[in-house]
Structure 1
Amino acid sequence: MLFFIVGIYCGLICVEGSSMEASLHQQIFKNYNKHVLPGEIDEAVNVSVDVKLSYLVGLDEKHQMLSLGMYFNITWVDEALSWNETEFPGLQEIIVPDKQIWLPQIAIPSAIRTNRYLTAVNYPVSIQSNGTVIWIPDYTGNIQCPIDTTRFPFDSQTCLFDITLWVYKKKHAQIVKSKGHAESTVKQNGQWEINTVESNLVTPLGERNYIAITLDMHRRREYYLVSIILPTAVTSCLNPFVFLLPAESGEKVGLATTLMLFYYVMLSHIFDNIPANSLTMPVFGIFIGGQLVLSGLSVVCIVVLLKLSQTNRDVAKIERSEDGNTPKINCLWKRIETILFCVFAITGIVFCGTVLILVQL
């Protein structure tokens, strides 16, 4: 019997609370117009915006486009949505869909046109008794981010974008407080690692203010060390050894041509994945281009040496020394090949060292 009475009492309280909240909704939204700015005409609506980066999808380097996901914590005061707690005891907060109330027109100007604004999509909005509104929408889209590929693949990128109240003038609505950071549980990206996320509230003279977001990140190097750096380093060491390969093997020109084709393919692979512009040029791409030139020169030198050697064997009479040693002309070709080996080895080392110094600058 006691449990039955307690159950009836709790049910009456729930019905009363639900009826009270329904009355509050009816009172607030009876004459409410979501198309009218909150507050007085001569007072600007103060909007507080906090930005949190939740995940990084990736960076499209070829099109210079940053794909990310973030959510906002936006707060302002709308006195038309306030109520007296004494008339509605126990109701300090209500939750309504964002499509029912006025929302600040938050925009990211550098985002692509189809996803530039934060729009109402029935997100729950918290309204407190004093008229404070808390709106927490999320955003997923692409933002323009100029790329500097000079130190590729050991580069760091800094993406800058603005968040502003797009429609309203400063006298109507303004951002008064901002904060931006990455979540501690931000989803890891396999290619980029986030260093810092900073936000600054910029207030130009006579213009609407905006939040300047700075996203700093660096490229993860492990993949490029295995797929690009290591093969290029090994083949660069093989370049001078073409001259030490015996001519009788018949593989001198073949090896030199193979190395030259490798550098051409590697160079094409790098430039296929970076922006096609002349403002920034990857130093590592210049290194591979230099190795391509050296490989081409080695092919030319080998072909000329083989031709001259064969001509001397067919036309000129080779004088042998009295003790029956190797012909003097063969010794000459071997000395030339040794000199070319040293020249190409020193050139490759100097060129490689220069590139490493430029990458570290």
Structure 2
Amino acid sequence: YNSDIRPVNDDKEILPIMIDFSLISISELQEKDQTLVSLGYVYLYWQDDFLSWNQSEYGDLQNMVVPQKKVWRPDIVVANSVEKRTKIGFDELPIRLNSDGYLEWEPSMLFKTSCDIDTTYYPFDVQVCKISLETMVSTISELNLTIFNPEVNTVDYSPNGQWNLLGATIVKRDKAVYSAVHIELKIQRRRTFYVLNLILPILLLSLMGSLTFALPSDAGEKMSLSITVLLAYVVFLTIISDSMPQTSLQISLLGVYL
């Protein structure tokens, strides 16, 4: 047995890899860097033609846990990772081997992936970020990533204080040469904090700016009030600009208003 060789009897056979995903948490969405940090489990299930046995000959042994270095594993990477592209999993994690030759592998990972941020309706925006999983070397004629359940498992999900998870799905996104799936996370910004600390103060500033027209033209307070409102607008515009990516593809309507 060679753990470096694809475990099929026929080299022309396509080996299906069942894939599922469990989302544990969304740590943060870094708008300025357009990066999503999340934690989850990738569940992989495949058959090894060379690792099956008759249960009756081995004391009714149904399954066992084996070191992952001892068996073949699919070469799956996080394609849109902002860090070094490496195969998922780590050497200390074991794999469960069943008597029929099927292996179950559930590596956990902290994903740091790129995400195209649309800030048009900030802070009432909805973002769709994805985690792209694809084969690194094996072609689509050798390995085929097959979705076990199109709905991401969120039973153990811990809510994020800034983002509300609206939906999470797994979709097939094969490339010309490599098999690939996307884990798409639809999240909505929790707006209460921004309404109280950003929107309401800006509305009050707008009201104060309108009051300057009610003051007599020769009143000294008219000029000082106008300058104060203008400086306050500059402060809020700076706060908004510091939290957004420096891109011209989408411009925040709130920033345009200010």
Cα deviations by residue, 1:156-209 (Å, 9 ceiling, x for unpaired): 0111342112210123222233434141331111111110111122345x6332
Q: Per the alignment, do residues 182 and 83 of structure 1 end up closer, same or farther by CA in structure 2, a change over 3 Å counting?
A: closer
1:139 matched residue in structure 2:
109
Identify the structure with the greater strand proportion. Answer: 2
2:203 matched residue in structure 1:
233
Task: Write the distance in 2 (CA, Å) between the matches of 1:244 and 1:203.
Answer: 64
1:218 matched residue in structure 2:
188
> Among residues 53, 64, 76, which one is paired with 1:94 in the alignment?
64
CA contact (8 A) 2:89 2:109 kept: no
Say if 2:256 is the partner of 1:286: yes
Instruction: Please give the residue correspondences for 1:315-354 in structure 2 after superposition, counting only pairs within 5 Å.
Output: none
Q: Which structure ranks higher in relative contact order (CA pairs < 8 Å, sequence separation ≥ 6)?
A: 2
Cα deviations by residue, 1:329-350 (Å, 9 ceiling, x for unpaired): xxxxxxxxxxxxxxxxxxxxxx
- Provide the alpha-carbon RMSD of the alignment: 1.8
Task: Write the distance in 2 (CA, Å) between the matches of 1:125 and 1:111.
Answer: 24
Say if 2:123 is the partner of 1:153: yes
Instruction: Please give the residue correspondences for 1:178-257 in structure 2 after superposition, counting only pairs within 5 Å.
Output: 178-179=148-149, 180-203=151-174, 207-245=177-215, 250-257=220-227
Alignment gaps of 5+ in structure 1: 1-31, 289-361
1:82 matched residue in structure 2:
52
Task: Write the distance in 2 (CA, Å) between the matches of 1:79 and 1:273.
Answer: 53
2:29 matched residue in structure 1:
59
> Among residues 256, 272, 277, which one is paired with 2:242 in the alignment?
272
> Among residues 73, 78, 96, which one is paired with 2:43 in the alignment?
73
SS in 2 for 1:86: helix
Q: Per the alignment, do residues 209 and 236 of structure 1 end up closer, same or farther by CA in structure 2, a change over 3 Å counting?
A: same
> Among residues 80, 89, 99, which one is paired with 1:119 in the alignment?
89
How far 1:246 moved relative to its partner?
Answer: 5.2
Alignment gaps of 5+ in structure 2: none
Task: Write the distance in 1 (CA, Å) between the matches of 2:56 and 2:239.
Answer: 71
Paired residue total: 256
> Among residues 33, 54, 76, which one is paired with 2:2 in the alignment?
33
CA contact (8 A) 2:123 2:194 kept: yes
Identity of aligned residues (%): 29
How far 1:142 moved relative to its partner?
Answer: 0.8
Identify the structure with the greater helix proportion. Answer: 1
